[in-house]
A = this chain, B = another copy of it.
């Protein structure tokens, strides 16, 4: 069992939320597809990336998940060929109280 480094695969960039500019966090949430992803994640638990089928290609989906991750909003666990994403709810709520609640409960203006 080699407990040494991880030569083969890239480490996932998951910054601390406090190191991310507020504008980056807001920009990450200011997209319809990403907001749908966040809403789905807010149900709780982990979701494989492939779960999110919102009318975009898998390349685009991967891009959006990267934006959310690098904004400090999600955490990703690698398991085999799949990656499981979950919302960093407690951390977001602690640093930005009310932000997620405000965004998630928003009604879409018909």
* A interface residues with partner B (beta carbon < 8 Å): 18-24, 26-27, 29-32, 35, 95-99, 101-103, 106-109
Contacts and interface: CB of A to CB of B under 8 A. Distances in A.
Q: How many copies does the complex hold?
A: 2
Contacts of A24: 30
Contacts of A106: 22, 95-96
A71 B96 CA distance: 21
Contact of A101 (B32, B98, B107): B98
A29 to B, nearest CB: 5
Which residue among A24, A26, A97, A109 has the maximum number of chain B CB atoms within 10 Å of its CB? A26
Contact of A23 (B21, B35, B95, B97): B35
